[in-house]
Amino acid sequence: MMSQATILEATQLSKAYGSIVALDEATLRFEENKIYGLFGRNGAGKTTLLDILSARIFADSGYVRCFGKDILTNPENISQHCCYMPEKHYFPGRFKVQTFLAHASASFPHYDEQYAAKLCQTFNLNVEQKYEQLSRGYQSIFRIVLGLAARAPITILDEPVLGLDAVARDKFYGELIETFTQNPRLFIVSTHYIEESADLFNEAIILKNGKIIRQGSVDEMVANVFYVSGKTTQVDTFLTNQTVIGQQVVNGLKTAVIEGPRPQQSVQGLNFSALTMQNLFIHLTSDEETREQ
């Protein structure tokens, strides 16, 4: 398979707020025409990373290149090619939705007004309402409309489905896939809804305590881990020379998460099973490696 071009890259990004390290030497590469899922617990550094990638804030050290150029010395590269919809966006509350949409083309060169109108109908967004009158869910929908209709080569959405019910979230996932299929581009989507969204992403990035602990294909990530369970003594014997991500003991029975290829042959007394992306995320970011009950 032919590799795709890297259009956004971060190298050794670090950012601290006083004694709190929000980002710790993060290095990432984002290829064109892919959808990336960004996962991390609260406080892991996701929003800080996205703010730096979009030049909303600046790193203490490290650099970001967009289409091969440093965004500090070439800010137009990110401003012209990136649409970033942060979780907290301070739109002036007194303006109506339609006012923002009418002026969106001034900020986004590729903005599609007709598509925006279609999205407003799909999500039942009342364009006559002022931004401050929108519920939290409809504020998220408004940001989704702007983010998707901008049709920017780089589209970054930070927690786009917060406050949305299951039906609205499903509509967003459908629209994301449809617009990506019709007009492929780079999407970076930060979300806590891992279980229901994992199938959308070509690649996943997992952050923990400001560090990038995983980046790669979702399918490859979950294919390279598995559960093993059985009596504690038997599981402990199996764990010899294995890479253990996490383990739990309940009433003399142990379940462990192993990183590596799943055994092709059965082992008497042991059960092997697969992990979902959310299972993997929980075990990788948990503060407890071993639990006993």
Q: Name residue, tokens 């390279």.
A: 224
Residues 73 and 111 in one domain: yes
Residues 175 and 235 in one domain: no
Q: Residue 252 has what pLDDT?
A: 84
Q: Residue 119 has what pLDDT?
A: 97
Structural domain span for residue 236 = 225-292
Q: If the chain, 293 residues long, is cut into consecutive pieces of 10 residues, what is the mean pLDDT of each piece? A: 80 96 96 97 95 95 95 91 89 92 93 97 96 94 97 96 96 97 97 95 96 94 94 94 91 92 89 94 79 47
Q: Is residue 79 part of a domain?
A: yes
In the chain, the number of structural domains is 2
Angstrom distances, CA of residue 36 to CA of 50, 155, 188, 206: 12, 10, 5, 11
Q: Which amino acid is at 249?
A: V
Q: Is residue 242 part of a domain?
A: yes
Report the relative pairing of strands 69-70 and 82-85 from DSSP bridges.
unpaired
- What count of other Cβ atoms lies within 10 Å of the Cβ of residue 59? 23
Predicted TM-score (pTM) of this structure: 0.92
Residues 58 and 154 in one domain: yes
Sign of torsion over alpha carbons 144, 21, 204, 13: positive
Q: Is residue 146 part of a domain?
A: yes
